[in-house]
Amino acid sequence: MSLVADRLNRISPSQTIVISTRARALKAEGRNIISLSAGEPDFNTPDNIAQAAIKAIAEGQTRYTDVAGTPELRKAVAERFRLDSGLDYTPEEIIVSTGGKQIIYNAMMATLNPGDEAIIPAPCWVSYPDIVTLAEGVPVVVPCKRENGFRLQAEELEAAITPRTKWLFLNSPCNPTGVAYSAEDLRPLCDVLLRHPHVWIFTDDIYAKLAYDGFRPATFVEVEPRLRSRTVTMNGVSKAYAMTGWRIGFSGAPVELTKAMNKLQGQSTSNTCSIAQAAAVEALTGPQDFIQTMVDTYQGRRDMVVSMINQAKGMECAVPQGAFYVFPCIEKCLGKTSPGGKLLNTDEDFVTALLEEEGVAAVHGSAFMYPGYMRISYATDTQSLRDACTRIQRFCESLL
């Protein structure tokens, strides 16, 4: 009898974590490694937020809270949804979890029966398919065409829906592409969903505040309020407030589903850290000007990275509208041999050789269900980005 459950054999370790771990190991060996694989801001948590946590400790806010989060935080989340997107959620429709990933896990575990399908537009974040699989659902990955800007089209959504479809995932701005959806982009998808009332929507808006050139990403319920009764709107403080390690994600959803997620969380992790919750209240209700400073910095980095990657032989890189990633095509580099003698048959071969030979860590597109590409994070300092892009240019120029 095997110790490990069969369900775990159906999923894979997170590829972004695998590559980041390998990069750290090489760095510990003394290698000069520039890691562009991590999906987290390089900014420190703003001081007012950190001070709110220190104050909470001093005041003894160190006990269990409600499983779904403190009343203060749930109220702050509801108000932030209203201010940012005009969404009208009550605190009873809000749940706070240990990061956005637990929100996804809770929603899928609470709703999927064996064989239920979840539509996932690709390129997609690495964890969506595995979480659906772990919940005994069936991930239905829909490749989105490059010529459509990697955006899901209405006819593609329509074709993917079956009687077993339970969920549609949409991440905007998207990890790994940085592609975002406007209200005009979402309208045709909303029209399809209105024709299929059995399909629920999970909208992952974790990067919504990180958008560039004046672009404002839209979210489903904002565009079509009639979808509110079957939509989970997820967000958190990790990306916009530089709080990845604090582990606070949250969602707004109909009370029935929120209660089901609360029931599951009550038998798993229970409440999130009380100190992190106090910090999140300050993040959501305190000064917001830090975000624009961060966005301006990211936009400058984005422009530099896109320019330098497009100068690398064989690589083609579109300009993303949000998040802090670029997703260049490397198909013209495949089938060649690296300077170190490695045959680059796949995108994974390419990023492995790039790490081993040039000391630059990136994530292969296949990890995001989209082979022939790679993801680069520009959430690191400008000089490191410039050095990394120079190494990538050198690597590509040397391919045989």
The answer to whether residue 114 sits within a structural domain is yes
pLDDT of residue 314: 97
Backbone angles phi, psi at 165, to 5 degrees: -70, 125
Asked whether residue 384 is domain-assigned, the answer is: yes
Give the tens place of pLDDT for each residue, 343-377: 999 999 999 999 999 999 999 999 999 999 999 99
Instruction: State the total domains in the chain.
Output: 2
Domain boundary residue among 234, 254, 286? 286
77 vs 72: CA distance, rounded Å: 9
Question: The whole model's pTM is what?
Answer: 0.95
Tell me the HSE value of 167 on the side-chain side, using a 13 A CA sphere. Answer: 33
Torsion 316-322-325-327 (CA) sign: negative
Average pLDDT value for the chain: 96
Q: Do residues 117 and 177 share a domain?
A: yes
Q: The CATH number of the domain where 388 resides is what? A: 3.90.1150.10
Tell which residue, 385, 375, 380, has the closest CA to residue 126: 375
Measured between its terminal Cα atoms, the distance across the chain in Å is 49
CATH of the domain at 97: 3.40.640.10
Q: Are residues 64 and 14 in the same domain?
A: no
367 in the same domain as 254: no
Q: What pLDDT does 16 receive?
A: 75
- Residues 169-193, buried b or exposed e (16+ Cβ, 10 A)? bbbbbbbbbbbbbeeebbeebbebb
Q: What pLDDT score was predicted for residue 26?
A: 87
Domain that holds residue 347: 6-44+290-398
